[in-house]
Amino acid sequence: MKFFNREKEINEILHILNKEPDDIYFIYGSINSGKTTLINHIINNELNDNYKVFYINFRTYLISEKKDFIEAIFSTKKDDFLETIKDKSEVLNLITKGARILTGVPIPEVEFNKLFEERINDAFQYLNNIMLETRKNGKTPILILDELQMIKDITTNGQKYLLKELFQFLVSLTKEQHLCHVFCLTSDSLFAEYVYNAGELGGRAKYILVDDFDKETSLRFISFLAKENGVALSDSDKEKIYSYVGGKPKDIAYVVEESSFKDLKEVLEYLLNDSIQKLDMFLNKLDYITPKISIENEIIEIKKEDVVNALKLFKTKYEIDKNDVSMPIYIYLIKENILFLNPQKGILKPQSYLVWNAIKRLEL
């Protein structure tokens, strides 16, 4: 599928990259809203060779301890060959002459092995030196940390210091040294809310929401995909697609592609029924279990009645103020991927139009 739209977000990020690094940028949005697609489009199609991108996707790693985090950050392999990096001259070659995008920070294997015996600050110091070397060689470094929330629960000596240490280091790269552009991506809106309210990032971070398409853009996207896939869709068909799946790019793409060989109504009803059944199963489980969540070390029980009452608020509205739902309930519903929180506006909404339609169809 070809990249579509996002001119506003592209222009904003390119504007940031044309300036001196000064802030950490958090790119957030609901599941499948297109965050990774957007950043990949920019680094693959919008940048020249004056930039060097270090791209780390934490989604591809099972991270449960500091060692896993270090392995995710650093690459002891060359991007183009399955060869071990032997010395610092090879690292320099990758920085100056290698591909514009590196999936990880290159490091000689012997240096990499030392990191497990020393403090996390030594890993950050090495990374800082790589960024300095990149600058020295006429390149502007960009560090991209995708699905950063994967490290939020890692502890060091029993304390959750790693994320705070990382934030301090990223502030040093941007606000203090103006050395490197930093973009952190997340689909976890509770993590985005935590970051938004984190005191150590006050005045040091900015936020870019990559939301689902609005209606006008969605209808244009449907037309675009219909032409790409050779599917004949009337205006009423396009309106119907939007009424079922809203502006979720992945859902729109699925519907249009499937309707190239299936009946459109059949495709839409299949998706909606799937969402209804999953939501119904989720609610039925609450008849037999009492979930618990922890807020500030206080264990709180989640009651089905409270969950149902919260969902009822969406029967007639797509968005509500987060204060209309108690914090334990909306945290639980976000963790279950039913709701999404925009921390900048304090607004709750379903993760997708399909979830919203399922809420409206179910007898609550």
pLDDT of residue 157: 54
pLDDT band at 190 (very low <50, low <70, confident <90, very high): very high
SS3 54: strand
Pick from 205, 336, 248: nearest CA to 37:
248
Task: Kindly report the pTM of this predicted structure.
Answer: 0.92
Q: What is the arrangement of strands in the sheet containing 320-321, beginning at the earlier edge strand?
A: 320-321, 347-350, 339-342
pLDDT at 272 over 70: yes
Instruction: Tell the CATH topology of 7-209.
Output: Rossmann fold (3.40.50)
| Predicted confidence (pLDDT) per residue in 77-94, tens digit | 766 656 788 888 889 888
Q: In CATH, what number does 282-361 get?
A: 1.10.10.10
pLDDT of residue 296: 81
User: Amino acid identity of 237?
Assistant: D
| Predicted confidence (pLDDT) per residue in 203-249, tens digit | 899 999 999 999 999 999 999 999 999 999 999 999 999 999 999 99
Structure tokens at 193: 């809310």
Report percent pLDDT > 90 for the chain.
Answer: 72
pLDDT of residue 152: 83
Pairing relation of β-strands 105-106 and 101-102? unpaired
| Fold matches, 7-209 and 282-361 | no
d(CA 235, CA 279): 30
The structural domains of the chain, with segments of one domain joined by +, span: 7-209, 282-361
